[in-house]
Structure 1
Amino acid sequence: MQANVGNIDRVIRILAGLLLIGGALTGAIGAWGWIGVVPLLTGIFRFCPAYLPFHWNTCEKK
């Protein structure tokens, strides 16, 4: 599994995931906030399966 999520994309995903999960835990946004697990995990593992069919890669070129 090759990384396809760059640094800026990674930070945005992790923050968005944490905000959604935090909102779900506090009851501010309801149960749908648990969808934040998806961006959180894709940010942590630096891999997004949704990028594969489109051949997208936000990692810096080497």
Structure 2
Amino acid sequence: MANVGLVDRILRACIGVVLLALPFVMAKPEEASMAFGPYAWVLLAAGVVMLVTAALRFCPLYKLFGVRTCPLSK
């Protein structure tokens, strides 16, 4: 029941890694104790969602809107 194609998976994985890294890269040295603000948590959550959808090859929003980026299996 996959609906995410190869190119889409690669893009999602790359974007997910970037979103996961952003809070750590942009954190100030005094925030090294993992005291992230709300925007950092949103970025982390979005990164996890992107990586999970890439790994599972399934996107619930694609299913909802009828979008499919992978070829149909025969």
TM-score normalised by L of structure 1: 0.83
In the alignment, does 2:2 pair up with 1:3? yes
Write 1 or 2 for the structure with the bigger share of helix: 2
Q: What is the Cα deviation at residue 27 of structure 1?
A: 4.5
In the alignment, does 2:71 pair up with 1:60? yes
Q: Distance in 2 between matches of 1:48 and 1:38?
A: 9
State the match for 1:47 in structure 2: 58
The runs of at least 4 consecutive aligned structure 1 residues that moved more than 6 Å come to: none
Instruction: Tell me which structure has the larger Cα radius of gyration.
Output: 2
Structure 1 residues without counterparts, runs of 5 or longer: none
Number of residue equivalences: 60
Q: Percentage identity across aligned positions? A: 38
Q: Distance in 2 between matches of 1:37 and 1:56?
A: 21
What RMSD over aligned residues (CA atoms) do the two structures have, in Å?
A: 1.7
The one-letter amino acid of 2:56's match is F
TM-score normalised by L of structure 2: 0.71
Q: Which has the higher contact order (CA 8 A, sep 6+)?
A: 2
